[in-house]
Amino acid sequence: MNAPASDPAREPAPDPVRILLCDDHAVVRAGLLALLGSAPGIEVVGEAGSGEEAVAMAAHLRPDVVLMDLQLGAGIDGVEATRRIAPTGVHVLVLTTYDTDADITRAIEAGATGYLLKAERPEELFAAIHSAAQGRTTLSPPVASRVMDRMRGAAGPSLTDRERDILGQLAHGLGNREIARALFISEATVKTHLGRIYAKLGVDTRAGAVAVAKEQRLLP
């Protein structure tokens, strides 16, 4: 005797994705709550107004996904909250208006599963939440482009040996006159090299050059 065919109508619906919202603006949280309330397969189980609150609530509620803003006013920011939540196995999906290289890099390095901009359509947000719940990475198109550009430029700018020498002197806090004496060149030559270094690193200050050089490991 053949087994009766299963009736899809009788099969239990999959459990909804349990969401914890974290945003320091109550109006934004209310808007997200209303939006997500209309989404199939998604359930908001809590709201946090600060990074500390999100960390505590994530540990208590054990949601599938924390929808995390980056700028959270006083206290720890969204990146630090992500860094504390991600190791517990709870997925963090960043939802923010900020798409700078620094913000994206910090969030991903902290363990964020995805990075979405608030300008995305609701359908994109819903899809990203379901992807994050399964541990799949979702990036807004502008964010994905920035990540790819950063990867393509990962080798860093091409600096000459002399430019690297001058960067090293800058990192030690030497002024143009001291650099010239240390490297046995003229101050005019130092200034010329500095102009080229600034252009290659995309900065316009000594401190900026040193910061980028350290980030990209360009110092001798």
User: Over the stretch 55-111, which tens digit does the pLDDT of each residue have?
Assistant: 999 999 999 999 999 999 889 999 999 999 999 999 999 999 887 777 888 898 899
Q: Tell if the pTM clears 0.85, that is, is over it.
A: no
Q: How far apart are CA 149 and CA 208, in angstroms?
A: 20
Taking Cα atoms as reference points, which of 13, 107, 120 lies closest to residue 68?
107
- 101-117 pLDDT per residue, tens: 778 888 988 999 999 99
Query: Quick check: helix, strand or coil at residue 17?
Result: strand
Helix (H) or strand (E) holding 18, with range, is strand 17-22
Residues 6+ apart with CB under 8 A from 167: 159, 197, 209, 210, 213, 218, 219, 220
What is the 8-class DSSP label of residue 87? G
74 and 98 in contact (C-beta within 8 Å)?
A: no
pLDDT tens per residue across span 137-187: 888 888 887 776 666 555 567 788 899 899 999 989 999 999 999 999 999
Residue 184 backbone class (left: φ over 0; alpha: ψ -120 to 50; beta: rest): left
Q: Would you tell me how many other CB atoms lie within 10 Å of the CB of residue 118?
A: 15
Alpha carbon distance 78, 140 (integer Å): 18
d(CA 82, CA 77) in angstroms, rounded, equals 9
| Residue at token pair 């994109």 | 124
Question: What is the distance of C-alpha 52 from the center of its chain?
Answer: 18
| Residue 196 backbone phi and psi in degrees, to 5 | -70, -40
Structure tokens at 139: 């990036």
